[in-house]
């Protein structure tokens, strides 16, 4: 399903959404009150169609784990999305290499990194979680594991992405783009009808990265973390900065200490600023968090990061994250 433009969706900012939606004031707490039912939230506008697929499962009482896997498979298979899966921009050697991880309500987790030729790395990550004693496998080993388990070897480099790479080669300047085409990694976190949390994160990583580079997205605790007692968090943007602060784990631990999802994300972003005052002005990092009560929030470095929400109260809603700068 093609990703629609931002204008095609309802777009609201921050906690003001509760008034926009005309809900009673009783919901005027930290966030819209989704506490009583399932909810799925995910990064960027490509989260809208991804959430729709996840909601199909959640709304029928399905498991959050199944929902997040099904959800992120949508952008993974969409050749028009150049930052995830098929159609992802390649590394500087012209290879599309993918990173993904998944985490369930029992602290089960699985991850693949530096994986080539497989359309759905998230499903390989789930298989690592469910069928092996390991958490993470990478590169050729991950490819062999996928092929041994029935995944198909495919060319993920589209003509468009190859042309963009050839254009880039003319100058070969490496500079991560802030708010790249208004979408980036997809990180998705959800609560199901049973009140259980799960999350998934998948990306083709930074365009024109060094061959072999792995970002935050497949790293449990950096790009994604789920604690079924507390909540879940995921991240997008320059993965190196997220790894340095174990970002998603930090956000969940801050929620454990009583912070709201938005405050927890803000404190994590502030830590990046403190560590890298100059660099933080030039890059994007965004966090997205959901607590056990269904409250959600986000915070990022630069304006422009948005996220998609789907619940009984929120249909195809795209929200702007607050930003440090």
| Binding site residues, ligand SD4, CB under 6 A | 176, 184-185, 203, 205-206, 215-217, 236-239
Which 8-state DSSP code applies to residue 220? B
* Identity of the residue, 49 or 215, whose beta carbon is nearer to ligand SD4 in the bound complex: 215
Catalytic member of 52, 185, 234, 236: 185
Name the residue with tokens 């454990």.
Answer: 256
Q: For residues 151 and 208, which CB has a smaller minimum distance to ligand SD4 in the complex?
A: 208
Residue pointed to by tokens 């991804």: 50
For residue 290, how many other CB atoms are within 10 A of its CB? 30
Residue 69 vs 216, nearer CB to ligand SD4: 216
Q: How far is the CB of 113 from ligand SD4 (least distance, A)?
A: 10
Catalytic residue flag (residue 185): yes
Positive/negative CA dihedral, 162, 164, 169, 170: positive
CA nearest neighbour of 319 among 2, 6, 60, 73: 6
Are 275 and 244 spatial neighbours (Cβ–Cβ below 8 Å)?
yes
Please provide the size of the chain in residues.
Answer: 325
Min. distance of Cβ 53 from ligand SD4 in angstroms?
Answer: 21
Minimum distance from residue 57 beta carbon to ligand SD4 (Å): 25
- Residue 324 CB-density burial (10 A; 0-12 exposed, 13-18 middle, 19+ buried): middle
Residue 33 or 125: which CB sits closer to ligand SD4? 125
Residue 126 Cβ, how far from ligand SD4 at the closest point, in Å?
19
**Active-site positions?**
185
């Amino acid at each position: 399903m093609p990703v629609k433009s931002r204008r095609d969706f309802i777009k609201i900012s921050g906690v003001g959404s509760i008034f926009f939606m005309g809900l009673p004031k009783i919901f005027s707490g930290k966030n819209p009150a989704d506490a009583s039912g399932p909810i799925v939230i995910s990064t960027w506008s490509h989260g809208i169609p991804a959430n729709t697929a996840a909601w199909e499962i959640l709304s029928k009482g399905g498991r959050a784990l199944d929902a997040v896997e099904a959800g992120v498979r949508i952008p993974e298979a969409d050749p028009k999305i150049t930052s995830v899966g098929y159609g992802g921009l390649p590394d500087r050697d012209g290879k599309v290499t993918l990173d993904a991880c998944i985490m369930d309500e029992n602290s089960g987790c699985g991850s693949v990194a530096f994986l080539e030729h497989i359309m759905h790395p998230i499903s390989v990550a789930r298989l690592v979680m469910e069928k092996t004693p390991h958490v993470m496998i990478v590169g050729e080993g991950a490819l062999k594991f996928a092929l041994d388990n029935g995944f198909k070897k495919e060319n993920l480099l589209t003509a468009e992405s190859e042309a963009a790479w050839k254009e880039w080669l003319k100058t070969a300047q490496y500079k991560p783009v802030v708010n790249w085409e208004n979408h980036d990694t997809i990180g998705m976190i959800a609560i199901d009808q049973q009140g259980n949390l799960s999350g998934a994160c998948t990306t083709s990583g930074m365009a024109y990265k060094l061959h072999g580079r792995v970002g935050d997205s497949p790293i449990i605790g950096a790009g994604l973390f789920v604690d079924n007692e507390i909540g879940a968090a995921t991240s997008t943007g320059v993965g190196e900065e997220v790894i340095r602060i174990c970002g998603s784990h930090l956000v969940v631990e801050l929620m454990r200490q009583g912070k709201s999802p938005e405050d927890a994300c803000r404190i994590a972003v502030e830590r990046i600023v403190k560590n890298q005052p100059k660099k933080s002005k030039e890059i994007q990092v965004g966090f997205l968090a959901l607590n056990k009560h269904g409250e959600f929030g986000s915070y990022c470095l630069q304006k422009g990061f948005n996220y998609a929400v789907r619940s009984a109260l929120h249909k195809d809603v795209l929200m702007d994250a607050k930003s440090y700068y």
